[in-house]
Amino acid sequence: MTPRRRQIDLAHLTTEQANRASADLDLKSSLEVARIINREDSKVAAAVKRALPQIARGIDLIADALKRGGRLIYVGTGTSGRIAALDAAECPPTFNTDPTTVQFVIAGGLKALAGAVEADEDSAELGAREIARRKPGRKDVVVGIAASGRTPFTVAAIAYARRQGARTIAVTSNHDSQLERAAHLAIVVEVGPEVISGSTRMKAGTAEKMVLNILSSGAMTRLGYVYGNLMVNVHQKNTKLIERALTILQRATGVDREVAQEALAQAGQSVPVAIVMLKAGVSRPRAQRAIKVTAGHVRKAVAAARK
């Protein structure tokens, strides 16, 4: 016998309401549809802007956790989980972080990245079980992402992580939600009703992508993995990235291409070490020591190497 599903009321959620701006969308021309979606999308950045004070607090929580050897763990289902996976996957090549430093948990596991596994998002038990496998603790920050703010899988994961001593952050598009109440800090980005009613892969998903970009990039910048506005820890895994590393080194130090190539070779192809060598005028071993004692903070390493 199939168990009865628990009835839920979504009508009060702003993300589920009808959008008057897209009424009769199916009667519009392709250009009109594009204009309506674009006009609604233009509201997302403003909604994120209103949440910047909370996002800044999130950056500080994450930077502090990573500085202490902790982890950033994202949790989500469906679109939210896939956006979390994207941000986590891009941190190692962008900032040269260990793959375990920024992680993601998605309802349904890896198969959910390519296809919908929607039933799992209704299970609080699965949410608690999946985050428990990561053993969240006092050094970690766990970020739960859910447009509705009510997804049982995500709410349960955040509640479990909080009980284990982790700092917790909610990212949602609806105020006064279960997820907001479960977390230490709530980042609520009110984007309003979707162009296609209830399709939170649209404005709400865009808002989530923006927020996660700011959280991870902001934390890595605070840790000194960005020099100026340059991603100096970039992985050099292909021709494009090798070329990018050279350009970054030239911009950071003002040297020409030939000097940059020679410095990178002497630095063992490490852009941060090459920057410290060139900016402080020191040897590779001294530059490496400076990078180590400053925990990879490039600007502080330059100053330390000059002493």
**Distance (Å, whole) CA 139 – CA 62:** 10
Sign of CA dihedral 222, 277, 231, 134: negative
Question: Which CA distances in Å does 287 have to 37, 267, 298?
Answer: 50, 9, 10
**Distance (Å, whole) CA 149 – CA 207:** 14
pLDDT in the model for residue 297: 96
pLDDT in the model for residue 153: 96
Sign of CA dihedral 264, 265, 267, 270: positive
**Distance (Å, whole) CA 257 – CA 266:** 14
Classify domain 14-222 by CATH architecture. Answer: 3-Layer(aba) Sandwich (3.40)
User: Candidates 3.30.1490.20, 2.20.25.90, 3.10.20.90, 1.10.8.1080; correct CATH number of 239-306?
Assistant: 1.10.8.1080
| Domain ranges within the chain, ordered by starting residue | 14-222, 239-306
pLDDT in the model for residue 13: 80
pLDDT in the model for residue 157: 98
Catalytic entry in 16, 32, 118, 121: 121
What tokens does 185 get?
């800090």
pLDDT in the model for residue 11: 58
Q: Provide the H-helix boundaries in the chain.
A: 30-41, 44-50, 52-67, 78-95, 124-132, 152-163, 178-182, 203-222, 239-253, 257-266, 271-280, 284-293, 298-306
Residue 50: name the closest of 210, 180, 183, 229 by CA: 210
Q: What predicted TM-score, i.e. pTM, was given to this entire model?
A: 0.91
Active site residue 121: yes
Look at strands 167-172 and 185-188 and give their pairing: parallel
pLDDT in the model for residue 22: 86
pLDDT in the model for residue 178: 96
Per-residue pLDDT of the chain (307 residues; tens, 9 = 90+): 344 445 555 657 888 887 888 889 989 999 999 999 999 999 999 999 999 999 999 999 999 999 999 999 999 999 999 999 999 999 998 998 999 999 999 999 988 888 776 667 889 999 999 999 999 999 999 999 999 999 999 999 999 999 999 999 999 999 999 999 999 999 999 999 998 998 899 999 999 999 999 999 999 999 999 999 999 998 787 888 889 999 999 999 999 999 999 999 999 999 999 999 999 999 999 999 999 999 999 999 999 999 8
Cβ-count burial 233-243 (b if 16+ within 10 Å, e if not):
bbbbeeeeebe
pLDDT in the model for residue 9: 57
